[in-house]
Amino acid sequence: MAKERIPDWLNSSLWSTTPSVDDRLHRFSLSPTTTTTTAAAAVSEPIVQPTVPVSPPAAASRPQYTVTSQKYEFRDPIDKNSNNNSNDNDQNASPSGVSPDDISRQAQLLAELSKKVVNFRELRRIASQGIPDGAGIRSTVWKLLLGYLPPDRLQWSSELAKKRSEYKQFKEELLMNPTEITRKLEKSAVDDHSKSESSGLLSRSQVTHGEHPLSLGESSIWNQFFQDTEIIEQIDRDVKRTHPDMQFFSGDLPLAKSNQDALKDILIVFAKLNPGIRYVQGMNEILAPLFYVFRNDPDEEMAAAAEADSFFCFVELLSGFRDHFCKQLDNSTVGIRSTISRLSQFLKEHDEELWRHLEITTKVNPQFYAFRWITLLLTQEFNFADSLHIWDTLLSDPEGPLETLLRVCCAMLILVRRRLLAGDFTSNLKLLQNYPSSNISHLLYVANKLRSQASN
């Protein structure tokens, strides 16, 4: 049993965060005394955020992220950045432009993507440092990481065509209303019949299989339809509430409407294909970033098929987290409660003092804050652009998204430890439920460090 002291690297002034955004910029111009520990993990080199560009350009600071992590409402964060990206060749070190580090990463990614067979380890390594926002790179990389696109480039077009037509078929089958279904089932000539007699008693015909609109039978398509209506209404409500501050998702433009319709269709098809889990509130939040990224792909063909692509990637992403959405599994070893207690355990291993203070002294049950963090994959805690960056890391880490998520959550707690240690139940809960905006690269760096630190 090691000494109960806080490890040195944790003690540094690096971890203290202040509420205001501007302070951070000041602090990062302090002398880089504490970055010695970064030498250990080579991967984290470019993420060493706090150092001022005293060191060689490879480890340059990334001004790009200070722009995006400010907390005001975002209209289209990606558009802004992609505009910047296109100009970056001219202005090398402009404060709102892209640092040379980003350019190199973009070049690396493009090189990797254009290979005949994509090397996944390489891709993951580069992607975990963050994916630049322009040129549709993120869209392609996410599709690769989620297993939607095969590693062999030549197979891409055939795979895509196959999957897209599959989705189209799902839609046709599952989104029909019962009237259309019954009409399809009996293609027998009813039309000719009605033309022949101009007047007289209308002929009655048998109802097939007891299928009528008021049927209460379990297998009746009408009954199923009405049962599904509830879920469809729920999905509709949630989709309308997704990211109300973003024009992409909500607003009066026909663009927003078509995006909402796409989200709805994806979620309805998913709910119908998965009767075990159906639709649970929150799935829309997990779908939204995927759809956003794929829809904003500069490649026309990719953007047009964003709905089908998002569906399959959503299924893939959710497969690791399904159990969190299943109510019956709440108390089991795979459910949300067990994941939250794993997080708690993780925190205990890395920062016992904080853990003790949070759970025992101030009695902040991790369920109060971690539930949303974990089930929604941190989409609600940060602004949209930041959450995309976090997702880059979540998806690219070889340990898997769940493990990475736990590490990031732990890092989030550690970053505000000073405030947490000083606070009581109310202030801690308030802080954790409205997590302050912070430097994402910094956060991810800390999360990464937690990986190499085994339990003390």
Partner 1 sequence: MVLVLAIGDLHIPHRAPDLPPKFKSMLVPGKIQHIICTGNLCIKEVHDYFKTLCPDLHITRGEYDEDSRYPENKTLTIGQFKLGTIGQFKLGICHGHQVIPWGDLDSLAMVQRQLDVDILVTGHTHQFKAYKHEGGVVINPGSATGAYSSFTYDVNPSFVLMDIDGLRVVVYVYELIDGEVKVDKIDFKKTATAPSAH
List contacts with partner 1 (CB under 8 A): 177-180, 182-183, 190-191, 193-194, 197-207, 210, 212-216, 226, 229
Smallest separation (angstroms) from partner 1 to the CB of 269: 19
Q: Which CB atom, from 31 or from 206, has the smaller least distance to partner 1?
A: 206
Smallest separation (angstroms) from partner 1 to the CB of 264: 18
Smallest separation (angstroms) from partner 1 to the CB of 233: 10
Smallest separation (angstroms) from partner 1 to the CB of 375: 30
Q: Which CB atom, from 173 or from 299, has the smaller least distance to partner 1?
A: 173
In total, the chain counts a number of residues equal to 456
**Pair of tokens at residue 76:** 């289209």
Taking every pair of Cα atoms in the chain, the longest distance, rounded to a whole number of angstroms, is 97
Separation CA 406–CA 388 (nearest Å): 17
Smallest separation (angstroms) from partner 1 to the CB of 196: 11
Q: Which CB atom, from 124 or from 171, has the smaller least distance to partner 1?
A: 171
Give yes or no for a contact between 149 and 160, defined as CB atoms under 8 angstroms apart: yes
**Pair of tokens at residue 212:** 């009528």
CA angle 244, 301, 311 (to 5 degrees): 50
Separation CA 179–CA 389 (nearest Å): 45
Looking at this protein, which amino acid is placed at residue 310? S
DSSP reduced 3-state for 372: helix
Q: Which CB atom, from 185 or from 304, has the smaller least distance to partner 1?
A: 185
Q: Which CB atom, from 92 or from 208, has the smaller least distance to partner 1?
A: 208
Q: Which CB atom, from 200 or from 254, has the smaller least distance to partner 1?
A: 200
**Pair of tokens at residue 271:** 């709910």
Smallest separation (angstroms) from partner 1 to the CB of 222: 8
Q: Which CB atom, from 152 or from 233, has the smaller least distance to partner 1?
A: 233
What are the residues whose beta carbons fall under 8 Å from the beta carbon of 41, sequence distance 6 or more? 448, 449, 452
Smallest separation (angstroms) from partner 1 to the CB of 268: 16
Tell me which residue of 302, 367, 346, 20 sits closest to 156, measured CA to CA: 302
Separation CA 250–CA 284 (nearest Å): 13
Tell me which residue of 343, 369, 374 sits closest to 425, measured CA to CA: 369
Tell me which residue of 170, 159, 370 sits closest to 272, measured CA to CA: 170
The residue with tokens 């970053």 is 415
The pair phi, psi for residue 260, each rounded to 5°, is -65, -40
**Pair of tokens at residue 451:** 């990986």
Residue 352: Cβ-neighbour burial (10 angstroms; 0-12, 13-18, 19+): middle
Q: Which CB atom, from 158 or from 219, has the smaller least distance to partner 1?
A: 219
Smallest separation (angstroms) from partner 1 to the CB of 179: 5
Q: Which CB atom, from 236 or from 316, has the smaller least distance to partner 1?
A: 236
Residue 222: Cβ-neighbour burial (10 angstroms; 0-12, 13-18, 19+): buried
Give yes or no for a contact between 365 and 92, defined as CB atoms under 8 angstroms apart: no
Looking at this protein, which amino acid is placed at residue 25? L
Q: Which CB atom, from 177 or from 219, has the smaller least distance to partner 1?
A: 177
